[in-house]
Structure 1
């Protein structure tokens, strides 16, 4: 089984420096650029097994989300299942595969997700970069929509989607490590 989740990124938008005020949100600071706005869509709270993470510094979305997580939830957080999942993260997309999913492949797509992570404060901005493959974490925060000039980036609100637009866009208020496992 192979599945892909992501957000299309135009490489021509590789502009700006990560130390500019345009990147305040990615650092967990309040926005100071008037065109930037974050709207809360819903509360978010869940336990996830980390399959991988990828940092971004130069795409248009890096001004908000400096890192993406590839995660599993539910049954797929079991280490013996999670270790069977291989991933590839690139350009805000996640490709994953599993030779023999233990459940119907259509249901399996709802248990693996790509999350674009926005830190809610500077402490979280540091914490979100400490995750490792195999960590079981509890993430709390909000699903959001980001607006910036011509960019409208909206979180998926359910787990049923696949492909472009199916990812969660999460402003993280809290991340707790529940277990560290080598998978």
Structure 2
């Protein structure tokens, strides 16, 4: 679902980071462990199963995007989006960050002191490997751009298939390989500041 840009009013800026509206993505992602972890076939992808690990919802700002991953999972997981929430979802912090997302990894750098610790930055910024549950969800996911306010609802899952295994993180405090959320997206909302 794409929300009209008019729902978020702000001054048009050259740099999308300056248009981020503080307070709209303050909450931590919501996560609830699932007891039934039975692997299920992934519709439209023969030989691929997903194992639900937790229900997941996150309202955050898209800060980096890779809509053309080039790996064995590209057909199943066609989009990676780095999301920021909480204290990182603030123009005063985001304008100091250099963000890059490629080959399933997000890198973040800064050259000036931040009002947050490195741990706080990394706990409020994460790469999300996105699996659309329907063609309509895929259509909405394809609209995401850096600077959009994104709400994801779905499942954190582990994937198994011919390409191997892609396991989700269940923690927001981990970093490095294996720290990304693998999300089977059941619903998405995208809002763009003017």
Relative to the length of structure 1, the TM-score reads 0.76
| Correspondence for 1:155 among 158, 168, 181 | 168
1:139 CA displacement: 0.9
Relative to the length of structure 2, the TM-score reads 0.72
| Correspondence for 1:173 among 170, 174, 186 | 186
Root-mean-square deviation (Å) = 1.7
Superposition pairs for residues 109-128 of structure 1, below 5 Å?
Answer: 109-128=122-141
Partner secondary structure for residue 173 of structure 1:
strand
1:160 CA displacement: 1.0
| Correspondence for 2:119 among 95, 102, 106 | 106
Say whether the 8 Å CA contact 1:141–1:172 is kept in structure 2.
yes
Structure 1 runs (4+) deviating above 6 angstroms are none
1:94 aligns with 2:109: no
| Correspondence for 2:177 among 144, 147, 164 | 164
The C-alpha deviation readout for 1:8-34, integer Å capped at 9, x for no partner, is xxxxxxxxxxxxxxxxx6xxxx1351x
Say whether the 8 Å CA contact 2:69–2:104 is kept in structure 1.
no
**Could you say which residue in structure 2 is the equivalent of 1:10?**
none
More helix by proportion, 1 or 2?
Answer: 1
1:102 CA displacement: 1.6
| Correspondence for 1:83 among 89, 95, 107 | 95
Structure 1, unaligned stretches of length 5 or more?
1-24
Partner secondary structure for residue 119 of structure 2:
helix
1:56 CA displacement: 2.6
